Amino acid sequence: MSEDDRDPIGEAIAALRAQTEAQPAGDAGPPGVRLAIDNDAALVRMLEALLFAASEPLDLDTLRTRLPDDVDVRALLNAIQAKYADAGVNLVEVGGRWRFQTAEDLAFLLREEREEPRKLSQAALETLAIIAYHQPVTRAEIEEIRGVAVSKGTLDQLLELKWIRMRGRRRSPGRPVTYGVTDGFLDYFGLANISDLPGVADLKAAGLLSSRLPPDFSIPAPGRLPSEDEDLFSDEEAAQFHVDFLDGEEPEEER
């Protein structure tokens, strides 16, 4: 069978039917709602309805709470993604959550020309890039990489845009606060995961890096420190830290 003749929805239903038939029936079966063979297609429709109606991307746990037990939600998502691959809307994963969005080649139909009320400064762009590639990173580490102090205004701007957040405290002398990017950052730049950030080759191809770089030049692979090296903030603790400490700083000029 050629790739064009594949029926991803039919394949998903067949897989679900096989899963159901393999489960013991009656009292010996697993607890919860049993998957009925005749309802396989209905599960696909239910999942599509949830995704279309959602005002924001939905994660797997949220989808599972709305569907019968023992349903392979990821398999259904993959099948629906294939079904809509050539449609006017596509199912995409952004930051571990799923949503329908306009196909990229049709974005021009929805483009809106407007004046941006606020642009990021060069300092803010540099700070954002450092946080994205080095997270979790402290303010002192940002300043060491940039070679200049980071002003309160720069961090405030990125926090207000909800592109960065205070992650927690590093388990090192002084207990410095760490910063990382948010799902809003991934959403805005169309990244499914932080590991999808462009590498050296991608940046060179886009003309953002010189082709004549030092032999030892490298860009770190985006990652996260092990949890034992960092005590994470709750949302309330992060907000209170901002009020208590950052708001007490004097504004600085920054290059």
Domain count, the chain: 2
94 closest CA partner among 182, 202, 221, 9: 182
Question: Over the stretch 168-221, which tens digit does the pLDDT of each residue have?
Answer: 888 888 888 899 999 888 888 888 888 888 776 766 666 655 555 556 555 666
Quick check: is 116 in a domain? no
Q: Are residues 85 and 175 in the same domain?
A: no
CATH number at residue 242: 1.10.10.10
End-to-end CA distance of the chain: 60
What pLDDT, on a 0 to 100 scale, did the predictor assign at position 28? 44
Q: Are residues 176 and 142 in the same domain?
A: yes
Mean pLDDT for all residues in the chain: 76
Residues in the chain: 255
Q: Are residues 99 and 214 in the same domain?
A: no
Using CB atoms within 10 Å of the CB of residue 216, give its burial: 0 to 12 exposed, 13 to 18 middle, 19+ buried.
Answer: exposed
Quick check: is 253 in a domain? no
**Structural domain that includes position 201:** 122-248
Residue with tokens 């629906």: 80
Residue 231: strand pairing partners: 169
Among candidate residues 49, 78, 110, the one where a domain is terminated: 110
Q: Are residues 134 and 218 in the same domain?
A: yes
Quick check: is 83 in a domain? yes
What pLDDT, on a 0 to 100 scale, did the predictor assign at position 92? 92
161 CB-near residues (< 8 Å, 6+ apart): 184
Q: Are residues 65 and 137 in the same domain?
A: no
142 closest CA partner among 124, 160, 167, 118: 124
CB crowding 70-90: b at 16 or more within 10 Å, else e: bbebeebbbbbebbbeeeeeb
